[in-house]
Amino acid sequence: MASSASVDDNIESNPLLQDFDVPPFDVVEAKHVRPGIRALLKKLESDLDELEKTVEPSWPKLVEPLEKIVDRLTVVWGIVNHLKAVKDTAELRAAVEEVQPEKVKFQLRVGQSKPIYNAFKAIQESPDWKSLSEARKRIVETQIKEAVLNGVSLEDDKREQFNKIEQELERLSHKFSENVLDATKKFEKLITDKKEIEGLPATSLGLAAQTAVSKGHENATAENGPWMITLDAPCLFAVMQHARNRALREEVYRANITRASSGDLDNTPIINQILKLRMEKARLLNYNNYAEVSMATKMATVDKAEELLEKLRSASWNAAVQDIEDLKSYSKSQGALEADNLSHWDINFWSERLRESKYNINEEELRPYFSLSKVMDGLFKLAKTLFGVDIEPADGLAPVWNKDVRFYCVKDSSGSPIAYFYFDPYSRPSEKREGAWMDEVVSRSRVMSPNGTTPRLPIAHMVCNQTPPFGDKPSLMTFREVETVFHEFGHALQHMLTKQDEGLVAGIRGIEWDAVELPSQFMENWCYHRDTLMSIAKHYETGESLPEEVYLKLLAARTFRAGSLSLRQLRFASVDLELHTKYIPDGSESVFDVDQRVSRKTQVIPPLPEDRFLCGFNHIFAGGYAAGYYSYKWAEVLSADAFSAFEDVGLYNTKVWCLKGLFRIAFLLIYIYFLEELCISNIVKSFHTFQPTHPLLFCVNLTRIYVCAKSWRAIAYCKRFNTLFITLQRHKSLNAYPQLLC
């Protein structure tokens, strides 16, 4: 047994417990998690005891000490959770699983603290309430609402039941995600006959050979194999789009839709238990279902979300039916035996062939124009144009968790740093979970200032799973991978460009979940902006720009199969809402019956009877999208309207952007970069007729939101942009609501 002195020494040297400006990602190991988290929780428990004894309804005596407690746990647990997502090991899983209940217990104690809750209520009811900034009002209102949703008002026995539910939900969600990762890794198919993978492009063959090498086939090459086929996204998409071997496509498709649905990795009982516990939680909180709990912190209501999805479904259906008819006709013209009876594993293959034929675009032939370095250079130039910020490499300034991770500094026009971010671009299926995401490392905060004078600067991380470099070639991206990078960068911008110094509502903190996807989807639009695309589309060997005719073809192909792609998202969103509103756990229908029923209305070709995609649906069972997947469509409405503001004045008229500050109003206002004290839901409520429920109504001109902002600070910014205000007067919304122009 180790001596107490050696344990203390280990605690003192534990990287999770050190004071740091940037996290020590390079030295944190599984062995640090148990002692580090426990020591941290012990310290925070003591801090919380002191806060509850001395709390007063004032900022220095309530909010500032609370922020220090919440922030420290958020940052340190964030390090551990992030490493689990990008550098997963059995040892790290075991450590997290052991201390996670202790972490959840502490979070529940904070959330259910009656002294803290009563102090926030006292602030809200005090005569000084009206004099608080909008940001501070937002904090108070949010803390009160979250306390109620955390069970602060429950009686002792019900609160104990509630806490057990929360503990179990946290455990189940982690297990769900782990099962998906393990099931994805489990599928491997070694191919030695090149005829079996005929049609796969050179990039994909190289990746499959590289994977084979990593699995012990040292002599594998792109030309001669062997090749390892996996369910990792770059490989999966390549097979489904390009493999002429229909049997291979079917095998890979079936493996993908049945991930984590059998054996030790079966997520079916986990799904059932999660839904049952969410229903119990909702009833304890006096809600009818879990969707109502979810909507309590969102812009939408259940009815409005369902209304939006149905209108979009109705608008998309005929187009999707025509998409399938087009595929049948084209595949028949190419002599395909399956033309009259296309199956799921045929759709992507023949869609890609039809797209190539119709627009003369070959996605693989575009890859050489989208090397990662060129894409990032162009993205940073766009950020400079839109925001006046410079983004510079800062590698070496911060420790990283993998040699491929880059670190960047964001500087304002004076050259002063305003934020930093990590970028982890490549797929690593053996240790990194699927998908792409952005999250905070630390947020901007006055309270957490390192020197007591200037606020702490925000740090974000962006994570993707795109095609890695192969041989002497850099990472050559598909156009969809380019869109994904722009998408995640939009999230990162929202976090990094905030000027809000109140840490509890700065950056991505406190944003309504159905507005979270607005900045990300907005940024995707710029992939089709000619000047932006031409700045990133440079051949990695010759430096030649993407030919103009190819750009025009890309633009024309943008809406290819739009109906089908829309229905795919609507299926996910609709089954999510159905499971969290009407589904009865342990009732006559299984979750898969619900999916089949929803899919009959949202899929032209119904899913296979054995389809178990729900067992891999991380978004709603292991992410933050439970009863919230509709947010993608809700935010798409808002982002389309934001981008239309540019189209109104001309996407190429950069002088208009600069002189009239159009982007400040369309982008920064919505994201609360400059008018940070305004929350999106309050802005929308001010314009009481706004509800984004019509598929063609790309609602609320940004002008409306701007003039509806009931804040003198908003009016001051409005007056600062006199020329901009003149431009906006041509919109009908100003004439319709003259009373708002006080």
> How far apart (Å, rounded) are the C-alpha atoms in residues 200 and 179?
29
Q: CB of 678 within 8 A of CB of 706?
A: no
- The reply to whether 31 falls in a domain is yes
- What whole-number distance in Å separates Cα of residue 503 and Cα of residue 404? 30
Residue 705 located in a structural domain: no
Is the pLDDT higher at 16 or at 675? 16
Mean local confidence (pLDDT), 682-706: 31
List CB contacts of 263: < 8 A, sequence separation 6 or more. none
How far is CA 309 from each of CA 261, 296, 313, 568, 597, rounded to the nearest angstrom? 28, 19, 6, 12, 16
Q: Report pLDDT for 646.
A: 62
Whether 710 shows a pLDDT value over 80: the answer reads: no
400 and 483 belong to one structural domain: yes
Q: What tokens were used for 350?
A: 């023949």
| 219 inside domain | yes
Span 89-106, average pLDDT: 96
Task: Please state whether 677 falls in left (phi above 0), alpha (psi between -120 and 50) or beta.
Answer: alpha
Flag whether pLDDT at 156 surpasses 60. Answer: yes
Of 208, 225, 258, which residue sits at a domain end?
A: 258
Going by the DSSP 8-state scheme, the letter that residue 15 receives in this structure is: G
Query: Can you tell me the mean pLDDT for 278-301?
Result: 94
- Give the count of alpha carbons within 13 A of 7, CB side only: 8
pLDDT digits 0-9 by tens, 226-242:
999 999 988 999 999 99
pLDDT tens-digit profile of 408-421?
Answer: 999 998 999 999 99
Among 186-190, 351-355, 442-446, 520-524, name the one with the lowest average pLDDT.
Answer: 520-524
- Do 80 and 140 lie in one domain? The reply is yes
Residue 171 lies in a domain: no
pLDDT class for 488, splitting at 50, 70, 90? Answer: very high
Structurally, the chain folds into a number of domains equal to: 3
Q: Which residues pair with 463 in a beta bridge?
A: 424, 437
Residue 273 falls inside a structural domain: no
Answer yes or no: do 124 and 25 share one domain. Answer: yes
Predicted confidence at residue 613, as pLDDT, reads 96
Query: Residue 561: which residues within 8 A CB-CB, separation 6 or more?
Result: 323, 351, 355
Residue 176 has pLDDT above 70, yes or no: yes
**pLDDT value at 325 more than 90:** yes
| Other C-beta atoms lying within 10 Å of the C-beta of residue 160 | 12
Same domain, 400 and 494: yes
Domain region containing 532: 369-543
The CATH number covering residue 381 comes to 1.10.1370.40
Give backbone dihedrals phi and psi of 227, rounded to 5 degrees, phi first. Answer: -125, 135
- Mean confidence (pLDDT) of the chain: 85
Do 222 and 125 sit in the same domain of this protein?
Answer: no
**Which range, of 141-145, 468-472, 549-553, averages the lowest pLDDT?**
468-472
Report, as an integer, the average pLDDT of 596-600: 97
pTM of the model: 0.85
Give the pairing of strands 390-393 and 437-442.
Answer: unpaired
Say whether both 391 and 463 belong to one domain. Answer: yes
Provide mean pLDDT across the span 271-297: 97
Assess whether pLDDT exceeds 70 at residue 508.
Answer: yes
Question: pLDDT, tens digit, for every residue of 622-672?
Answer: 988 999 999 988 888 767 766 765 666 565 555 444 433 444 444 444 443
For range 19-41, the mean pLDDT: 96
Which of 267-271, 447-451, 697-701 is predicted with the least confidence, judged by mean pLDDT?
A: 697-701
Which of the four pLDDT bands, split at 50, 70 and 90, describes residue 697? very low
Q: Is 247 a residue whose pLDDT tops 50?
A: yes
Residues 512, 444: one domain? yes
pLDDT band at 695 (very low <50, low <70, confident <90, very high): very low
Among the ranges given (44-48, 497-501, 531-535, 671-675), the one the predictor scored with the smallest mean pLDDT = 671-675
Beta carbons of 631 and 513 less than 8 angstroms apart: yes
* Whole-number pLDDT of residue 642: 65
Residue 391's beta-bridge partner residues?
Answer: 410
Residue 102 lies in a domain: yes
Tell me the mean pLDDT in the region 313-318: 92
- ∠ CA(212), CA(216), CA(219), 5° rounding? 70
- pLDDT at residue number 676: 38
- Secondary structure (DSSP) of 387-446: H--EEEE-TTSS--SSTT-EEEEEE-TTS-EEEEEEEEEE--TTTS-SS-EEEEEE--BS
For residues 6-17, average pLDDT: 74
Q: Which residue did the predictor score with more confidence, 627 or 498? A: 627
Q: Which two tokens stand for residue 147?
A: 């306390």
| Of 77-91, 255-269, 612-626, 665-679, minimum mean pLDDT range | 665-679
Count each helix (H run) and each strand (E run) in the chain, helices first.
31, 7
pLDDT per residue over 421-468, tens digit each? 999 999 998 899 988 999 999 999 999 998 888 999 999 999 999 989
Q: Does residue 415 belong to any structural domain of this protein?
A: yes
| Cα(86)–Cα(74) distance, integer angstroms | 18
User: Is 327 contained in some domain?
Assistant: no
Residue 464, H or E segment: strand 459-466
Tell whether 103 and 236 lie within a shared domain: no
Same domain membership, residue 199 and residue 59: no
- Domain boundary among the residues 523, 543, 563 is at 543
400 shares its domain with 533: yes
Output the pLDDT for position 647.
64
| pLDDT confidence of residue 667 | 44
Q: What percent of the chain has pLDDT over 70?
A: 85
Give the domain-ending residue among 232, 258, 284.
258
Read off the CATH number of the domain in which 44 is found: 1.20.1050.40
Helix or strand or coil: residue 572? helix
Active centre residues (catalytic): 488
Query: Residue 409, class by beta-carbon neighbours within 10 Å (0-12 exposed, 13-18 middle, 19+ buried)?
Result: middle
**Local confidence band at 5 (pLDDT 50, 70, 90 cut-offs):** very low
- Judge if 84 and 203 occupy the same domain: no
pLDDT in tens, 69-79: 999 999 999 99
pLDDT of residue 679: 43
**Would the pLDDT of 720 be above 50?**
no
Q: Are residues 143 and 208 in the same domain?
A: no
